[in-house]
Each structure stands twice: as structure tokens, then as C-alpha cells.
């Protein structure tokens, strides 16, 4: 991963994210915890969230990058079966009803997808993406 001049961190090429298909995970620092974020494509738009269920702090994907349930309409927690709306991360059913996944700002341009660190979600200091490009 590399960081661009405008503080954007490369995730993947746009072609890696297919509508309702497999997502791409990326390392983040959430507060003081090493974690992962993930990006998926839904309704033609790339969305990214912290990879943490709002019911319990477990990752959502049951196999790496598998975030959508079988219809491709919802993101699903592999542990609890909680369903989240891909367009806004709000829980639509399950033990976390009414809660929302933590969004991560993403930008898609020139055939590439980037995420933007903020006050809570940061680049892991010793990760290759913190070295610049």
C-alpha cells in the first residue's frame, strides 16, 4: 500500500471490487488497536467500513473478503448473522439492530480506490503505507 500526496491510502484497483462481490480488506489503526477496514462496491459506489461488528468486536467476513450474504443485498456478520445495509452500514436485523458500522472515507479515481485516515481511523505507523510513495 502507498500513501498519496493528498493523504489518501491506496486500497486496490477499481476492478478488484465487483458489484455485490468480494470485498478488499486493508490494515488500519482504530484508536490504539490494530484492525482492518474493508471496501465493497454496492449500487455502483465503493463503500468502506471498519471490519468490526457492532454487537461484539469481531470481524464480519467469514472467509477473507466475503462480506455480502448470498443475495448480495446486505453485509453480514459471520458470527452473529447481523445484516447491515451496504449503503450506510446500519444494522437491519440481528443483535445489533439500530447500530451502524463505522464508515471509512473512500475515494475512487483514475481506476484506483483509496481510503482517507481521520481522527479515529489511522494508518498503522509501521505499515508499508505509512512510508509514502
Band (pLDDT 50/70/90 cuts) for residue 133 is very low
* pTM assigned to the model: 0.90
pLDDT of 3 > 60? The answer is no
3-state secondary structure of 4: coil
Topology of domain 9-131 in CATH is Rieske Iron-sulfur Protein (2.102.10)
**Residues counted in the chain:** 133
Band (pLDDT 50/70/90 cuts) for residue 131 is very low
Query: What does the domain layout of the chain look like in residue ranges?
Result: 9-131
Beta bridge partners of 45: 42
Q: Which residues of 14-29 are buried (b: 16+ CB within 10 A; e: fewer)?
A: eebbeebebbbbbbbb
Phi, psi angle pair for 129, to nearest 5°: -75, -15
Place of cell 445489533: 96
Number of H helices and number of E strands within the chain?
0, 10
Phi, psi angle pair for 111, to nearest 5°: 75, 15
Beta bridge partners of 76: 83
What's the rounded mean pLDDT across residues 78-82? 88
Q: CA 83 to CA 68: how far, in whole Å?
A: 9
Cβ atoms within 10 A of the Cβ of 108, count? 15
65-79 residue pLDDT tens: 999 999 999 999 998
Phi, psi angle pair for 12, to nearest 5°: -170, 170
What's the rounded mean pLDDT across residues 29-39? 94
Selected residue with higher pLDDT from 95 and 46: 46
Band (pLDDT 50/70/90 cuts) for residue 127 is low
pLDDT in the model for residue 2 = 55
Band (pLDDT 50/70/90 cuts) for residue 23 is very high
Amino acid at each position: 500500500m502507498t500513501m498519496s500526496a493528498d493523504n489518501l491510502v491506496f486500497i486496490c484497483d477499481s476492478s478488484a471490487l465487483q458489484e455485490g462481490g468480494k470485498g478488499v480488506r486493508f490494515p488500519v489503526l482504530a484508536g490504539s488497536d490494530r484492525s482492518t477496514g474493508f471496501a465493497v462496491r454496492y449500487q455502483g459506489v465503493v463503500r468502506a467500513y471498519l471490519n468490526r461488528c457492532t454487537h461484539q468486536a469481531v470481524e464480519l467476513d467469514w472467509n477473507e473478503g466475503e462480506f455480502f450474504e448470498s443475495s448480495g443485498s446486505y453485509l453480514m456478520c459471520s458470527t452473529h448473522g447481523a445484516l447491515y445495509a451496504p449503503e450506510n452500514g446500519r444494522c437491519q436485523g440481528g443483535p445489533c439492530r439500530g447500530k451502524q458500522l463505522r464508515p471509512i472515507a473512500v475515494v475512487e479515481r483514475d481506476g484506483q480506490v483509496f481510503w482517507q485516515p481521520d481522527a479515529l481511523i489511522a494508518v498503522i505507523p509501521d505499515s508499508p503505507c505509512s512510508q509514502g510513495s
